[in-house]
């Protein structure tokens, strides 16, 4: 009996160790399974393993999920991995971003990471990576730093969630609906491969950080100041309230812009700056 209990204990310990996220791990789907990626239900709407046609070409397996964009199960673009290889302490493993190869069909997707941690605290990537439908396979990186997330609900901080992740999601959410942990309702197909827990930043991530904008003061009662690192063609700013309604929009043609917010209602707003380099979003609080 003691030998059986010891064997069971060692087996359980091995499973728990395997179930924790580790630096450099990759979901490449070459084993023919979905490697624990689900949408919460089983059946024909679930993600599938496709045996050929990945970024490596013939015989390169990948994961495919199609959201319906209609009411009911499978309507939203969101896949998740819970209590399996993508749970645990991302900070201790020095994981700075999750890299992956993706292909999108039907409609463009605004891809983000979403994590759930202690006390049910949920958070989502503040800035998305926009992938155009029909553009083929793309290599993207979704950063995992403490400044890369917005807490949606729960008492814990970003750093506390990163230290004890229970669920990781890959979702599509547009800026005006950034509070949606569940992902957006959209008809689209997401193909994904080589999901990697990376300890080094990709060059694309460095470029994104260099092109990000700053806002101050935050919170503010009267003014919202926006500072750009450079002036680019077609730069503009849009501000949305928490209901998704646009309350302000203008073209940015100088490095520093000041907006009078004294007449705005108190609350949280999303400030989105778009240019040829991409789209970036920050939260602003009007007091």
Three-state SS across 73-100? CCCECEEEEECCCCEECCCCCCCCEEEE
State whether CATH 3.30.565.10 applies to domain 15-200. Answer: no
Provide the residue-wise pLDDT of the chain in tens; the chain has 287 residues.
434 433 334 333 333 334 589 999 999 999 999 999 999 877 788 999 999 999 989 999 999 999 999 988 899 999 999 867 999 999 999 999 999 999 999 999 999 999 999 999 999 998 888 899 998 999 899 999 888 898 989 999 999 999 999 999 999 998 766 667 889 999 999 999 999 999 887 754 434 444 568 888 888 889 998 888 777 777 889 888 877 788 999 988 888 889 999 999 988 888 888 877 677 878 788 88
Task: Confirm whether 15-200 and 211-286 share one CATH topology.
Answer: no
pLDDT of residue 63: 98
Contacting residues for 104 by C-beta, under 8 A, at least 6 apart: 131, 132, 133, 134, 135, 188, 189, 190, 191
What would the 3-class secondary structure string for 204-267 be? Answer: HHHHHHHCCCEEECCCECCEEEEECCCCCCCCEEEEEECCCCEEEEEECCCCEEEEECCCCCCE
> Cα torsion for 257, 263, 268, 272, to the nearest 10°?
-30
Nearest-angstrom CA–CA distance, 222 and 280: 23
Nearest-angstrom CA–CA distance, 95 and 197: 6
**Three-state SS at 178:** coil
Q: Indicate the CATH number for domain 211-286.
A: 2.60.40.3080
pLDDT of residue 84: 76
> Cα torsion for 151, 152, 153, 155, to the nearest 10°?
10
Element (H, E) at 7: helix 2-19
Instruction: From residue 25, give the alpha-carbon distance in Å to each of 18, 95, 99, 137, 208.
Output: 11, 10, 11, 21, 24
pLDDT of residue 210: 45
For the chain, the structural domain boundaries read 15-200, 211-286
Do residues 49 and 29 touch, judged by C-beta distance below 8 A?
Answer: yes
Please state the pTM of the whole predicted model: 0.69
Omega before residue 158 within 30° of 0, cis: no
């Amino acid at each position: 009996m003691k030998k059986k209990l010891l064997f069971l204990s060692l087996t359980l310990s091995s499973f728990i160790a395997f179930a924790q996220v580790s630096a450099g791990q990759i979901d490449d789907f070459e084993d023919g399974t979905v490697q624990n990626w689900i949408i919460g239900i089983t059946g024909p709407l679930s993600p599938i393993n496709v045996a050929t046609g990945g970024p490596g070409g013939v015989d390169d397996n990948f994961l495919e999920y199609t959201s319906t964009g209609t009411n009911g199960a499978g309507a939203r673009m969101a896949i998740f991995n819970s209590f399996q290889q993508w749970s645990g302490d991302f900070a201790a493993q020095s994981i700075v971003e999750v890299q992956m190869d993706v292909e999108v069909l039907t409609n463009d997707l605004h891809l983000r990471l979403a994590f759930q941690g202690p006390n049910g605290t949920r958070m989502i990537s503040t800035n998305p990576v926009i992938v155009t439908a029909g553009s083929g396979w793309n290599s993207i990186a979704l950063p995992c730093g403490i400044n890369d997330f917005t807490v949606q609900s729960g008492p814990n901080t970003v750093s506390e969630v990163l230290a004890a992740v229970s669920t990781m999601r890959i979702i599509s959410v547009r800026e005006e609906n950034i509070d949606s942990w569940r992902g957006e309702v959209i008809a689209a197909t997401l193909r994904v491969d080589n999901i990697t827990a990376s300890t080094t930043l990709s060059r694309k991530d460095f470029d994104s950080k260099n092109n990000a904008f700053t806002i101050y003061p935050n919170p503010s009662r009267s003014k919202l100041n926006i500072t750009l690192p450079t002036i680019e063609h077609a730069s503009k700013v849009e501000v949305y309230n928490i209901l998704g309604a646009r309350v302000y929009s203008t073209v940015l043609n100088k490095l520093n812009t000041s907006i009078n917010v004294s007449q705005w209602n108190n609350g949280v707003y999303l400030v989105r700056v778009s240019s040829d380099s991409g789209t970036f979003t920050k939260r602003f609080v009007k007091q």
